Amino acid sequence: MTAVIRAPLFGCALALLAAFGDPGRAEEKKSDKKVVLEVGDVAPALDLRDERDETWSSADRFGKKWVVLYFYPGDFTPGCTAQAKAFRAAMQELIEKGVEVVGISGDSPRTHALFKKAQMLNFTLLADEDGAVARKFGVPVGPGGSVKAKDEDGKLTTLQRGVTAARWTFIIGKDGKVAYKNTKVSPADDARKVTAFITKALQK
């Protein structure tokens, strides 16, 4: 059984706002509209840098294991922190079910490393700094932003984010296809819903 949860685009820095007055961005937005990834579709391939600045490739995972891809606006923000902590708490159960969880945002590998250390996260974070992978999955992408956080030396610094993606979650099945799509994610409840879906799917 598969699940699809859809909702209108959320208001966090939509790409439409960035397109006004910029033909290049307008053309980019136009092409973005063509991507509509649904349950049952083959998941797009991706290669991104992780928090260690090493390449994470879907070719090593898709079609071999369950993979949760959750796109989120940005590190060190309240909702995204709650979402990450929820997945951290659920990680052992998900690992036991053979599931890999990956968070994706427009933050840099360095920002991801700081966020992962600060929240003691036990899963991978990927840097989609230009939003190219988010767009391949049909996830709305808007302009970037900045956030204040402690750097490697414990000093408060301003961290820049390349783009801001909407909060969408996908589950890629062992067949390499989209098994679940949620476009209306509740940050603190995302991990619970993902775990429940996979648990039910494995019982079949």
Per-residue pLDDT of 173-194, as tens digits, reads: 999 999 999 999 999 999 999 9
* CB-based contact 132:78 (threshold 8 Å): no
Given a cut of 70, is residue 196 above it in pLDDT?
yes
Identify the band that residue 43 occupies on the pLDDT scale cut at 50, 70 and 90.
Answer: very high
Element (H, E) at 149: strand 141-150
Averaged pLDDT for residues 90-112: 98
**Spatial separation of the C-alpha atoms in residues 23 and 53, rounded to whole Å:** 33
Given a cut of 90, is residue 129 above it in pLDDT?
yes
pLDDT at site 94: 98
Go through the domains of the chain in sequence order and give each one's CATH number: 3-202 (3.40.30.10)
pLDDT at site 30: 43
Copy the structure tokens of residue 144: 């970037």
DSSP characters over 91-144? HHHHHHTTEEEEEEES--HHHHHHHHHHHT--SEEEE-TTSHHHHHTT--EEEE
Element (H, E) at 161: strand 156-165
Given a cut of 90, is residue 148 above it in pLDDT?
yes
Given a cut of 60, is residue 153 above it in pLDDT?
yes
Tokens 């990834």 belong to 37
Given a cut of 90, is residue 18 above it in pLDDT?
no
Q: Could you give the residue numbers annotated as active site?
A: 80
pLDDT at site 204: 83
pLDDT at site 35: 83
Identify the band that residue 33 occupies on the pLDDT scale cut at 50, 70 and 90.
Answer: low
pLDDT at site 183: 98
pLDDT at site 67: 98
